[in-house]
Structure 1
């Protein structure tokens, strides 16, 4: 009997040690949760005096959550120390259920009964009427690190409104999922400004939303009273997947971290008649059109030997958007090494290769009355489209970016918080 009990005890201890070791391994993979905290967590734990006793207007969407996925809307609404009086939604809305470009009207939030003002559509900058019952504007949205993702301009317009209405503006900082080191792509040129590119920054800027708020405010003379509640434990080289965070969709077509990684270059396809994979389960990872030969395209791209990426021949039928209901052929982008992967340059190679292989069928989006294609607004200038059409190599196209990037890196250094 004693031998049996001893054996059971030994097995129990061994199982416990294995479980502890397994748990330690999982913890190591995710990083030390005590070393990292989001701006929203710092606000609630250490900086609550910034909003205590005040009427707060909150600009957010489903990504406005803490590490336990508690919504900042619910947390602030239920906290008696503060009065949440209004919500403001960017593109896709506060609840994130609107598709790209879809107008979101004013409505009353079902859960809280609060007014929800749309900042995407007829009004992109909060009006004085929208701000009449608040003391402070709070911004908490996960960005994806790409110039043409519209949330950073919702932030900028709201900062303008805050300055004009003498309201403090607080940004709760979050990680850049592309990291904070690499800068890539051309600078936006003035004639190509739009809601997918408001300020002259590179396509991949390598900054957090808090850092961008400081840069926008100073470099472009917004003049708002801006406070950034910083994260703790985030470094510029930190991989998002190593953080103790879950990926929450910032928008309907940004379902995974993999989507965000390819987005700075793959989204350039939006400026063409080729599908960027909207209407599939792999938007921006799947690219194709009915006129493409998938085997040929994948082989041609793989022959380029681009760093950190490989291309798989793929066919798909989009459920909506371009070529909806029509079998399309192309590629799936597989990032094999995030550190060496160059999303913007890769995206340009994809656009140029499809253009060169299928010249009779490929088209850039039509020019508007100003002679500007949507592709031009995405890339930030009118030169790249013309260079592709004239047969220039990608190496020739990107040769002029170096000086611009160095100048920007010098400017942005003043606003880096981490």
Structure 2
């Protein structure tokens, strides 16, 4: 659906002072440590949840600064009536690999029922919320800033289902680990919508979960969600994750470090090819390769000299996924200047050069690349011999329009 067809912001409810600050009152005092949305909720005595039957959508990243899980903390606190947990892709405790979940269970630590939300949306998900007995759904998951990382679409689906079921929805904010400075990459064409992209946002959106929630409610859900966003304090848009002081908990099995998140919005495009994206190694999405690739790929990339990154000729043997147990050649990305690095442009350079230097290059037969990039534009232009700069130029009009809409929903300076 076109961004221009959406109405004005409606349905965002501030939880007292928790969500009342405007961008003009952004938190500029870096002498204070970062406090997540959960930190502020707890410090306020859980006032926003008073008298509510609460269910939490979360995973292993829902932790406090001293790495206690928020479900354990709230379950032990008499001020919160926590009655259910909802697990996304990879599950509540994070044991499932990509494309999997943990199913319906009871949490052994708290005894709470855990419901599986993965692949659920619309009325079926609304029915799960109704069956759980909650009247308020709380969302607290660490995102990594890329459109095709599925947790933001779990957020979207749960917001939509909460509206259908008449439930209040509360988003506890966390940092975008790769900063919130700007949006990059192509904007999704709704004709290509899937669970790796429900709605037209940029490939690297440059927003936090609370900011996305406001945008989703206004632009795509008609303001129908009874939404409360509990924002952070002490975070600036220029902050990378290591500036936050927070512990990094892998949001999924193949997102082991903040370095992975830094490259992911570009190098994940190799999921749409017959090359390995590094799954089954200790550096997923930083290592890329295939049988038959040699040092010419790294040389071709370094000759282009993309900003902020260098490429090392690398050889590795994935323990699972593509080329399991085989030694493959390729490159490792080494980001040396995060400020100038553009992961999406770099991802396109990687694709263009891989196709040029390796005769075995192919797209996945299901054209998954179109789902990841949000349209057929990238694939067809590369197949036609376009340069990386030409591909990037082609998506600029849509990106400019998205940036205009995005700006209205930013909560932090």
Question: TM-score scaled by structure 1?
Answer: 0.89
Q: Deviations over 1:101-151 (max 9, x none)?
A: 124321111111111111114668623244341120000000000000000
Q: Deviations over 1:329-358 (max 9, x none)?
A: 101100000010010010111111111111
Contact 1:104-1:120 within 8 A present in 2 as well: no
Contact 1:58-1:88 within 8 A present in 2 as well: yes
Alignment of 1:67-78 (within 5 A): 67-78=65-76
Helix, strand or coil at the partner of 1:347: helix
Which ranges of structure 1 fall in alignment gaps of 5 or more residues? 1-30, 368-372
Structure 1 partner of 2:125: 126
The answer to whether residue 396 in structure 2 is matched with residue 402 in structure 1 is: yes
The answer to whether residue 328 in structure 2 is matched with residue 328 in structure 1 is: yes
Structure 2 partner of 1:232: 233
Contact 1:308-1:340 within 8 A present in 2 as well: yes
Structure 1 partner of 2:261: 260
Q: Deviations over 1:269-318 (max 9, x none)?
A: 0000000000000000000011211x111111111011000001110000
Structure 2 partner of 1:374: 368
The answer to whether residue 216 in structure 2 is matched with residue 216 in structure 1 is: yes
Q: CA deviation at 1:401?
A: 2.4
The answer to whether residue 292 in structure 2 is matched with residue 291 in structure 1 is: yes
Structure 1 partner of 2:112: 114
Contact 2:143-2:251 within 8 A present in 1 as well: yes
Structure 2 partner of 1:145: 145
Question: Following the alignment from structure 1 to structure 2, what is the Cα–Cα distance between the partners of residues 98 and 167?
Answer: 28
Structure 1 partner of 2:203: 203
Contact 2:46-2:79 within 8 A present in 1 as well: no
Structure 1 window deviating more from structure 2 (331-340 vs 115-124): it is 115-124
Q: CA deviation at 1:32?
A: 5.8
Helix, strand or coil at the partner of 2:73: helix
Contact 2:345-2:388 within 8 A present in 1 as well: yes
Structure 1 window deviating more from structure 2 (278-287 vs 108-117): it is 108-117
Question: Following the alignment from structure 1 to structure 2, what is the Cα–Cα distance between the partners of residues 239 and 122?
Answer: 32
Q: CA deviation at 1:327?
A: 0.6
Question: Following the alignment from structure 1 to structure 2, what is the Cα–Cα distance between the partners of residues 181 and 66?
Answer: 25
C-alpha spacing 1:131/1:33, structure 2 compared with 1 (3 Å) = farther
Which of the two has higher C-alpha Rg? 1
Structure 2 partner of 1:188: 188
Of the three residues 379, 383, 388, the one matched with 2:382 is 388
Helix, strand or coil at the partner of 1:399: helix
Contact 1:32-1:244 within 8 A present in 2 as well: no
C-alpha spacing 1:47/1:231, structure 2 compared with 1 (3 Å) = farther
Structure 1 partner of 2:350: 350
Question: Following the alignment from structure 1 to structure 2, what is the Cα–Cα distance between the partners of residues 267 and 282?
Answer: 13
Helix, strand or coil at the partner of 1:197: coil
Structure 1 partner of 2:270: 269
Helix, strand or coil at the partner of 1:68: coil
Contact 1:185-1:345 within 8 A present in 2 as well: yes
Question: TM-score scaled by structure 2?
Answer: 0.90
Structure 1 partner of 2:410: 416
Question: Following the alignment from structure 2 to structure 1, what is the Cα–Cα distance between the partners of residues 101 and 194?
Answer: 17
Q: CA deviation at 1:239?
A: 2.2
Structure 2 partner of 1:305: 305
Contact 2:194-2:371 within 8 A present in 1 as well: yes
Q: CA deviation at 1:362?
A: 1.1
Structure 1 partner of 2:90: 92
Question: Following the alignment from structure 2 to structure 1, what is the Cα–Cα distance between the partners of residues 32 and 78?
Answer: 27
Higher relative contact order (CA 8 A, sep 6+): 2
Helix, strand or coil at the partner of 2:161: helix
C-alpha spacing 1:129/1:118, structure 2 compared with 1 (3 Å) = closer
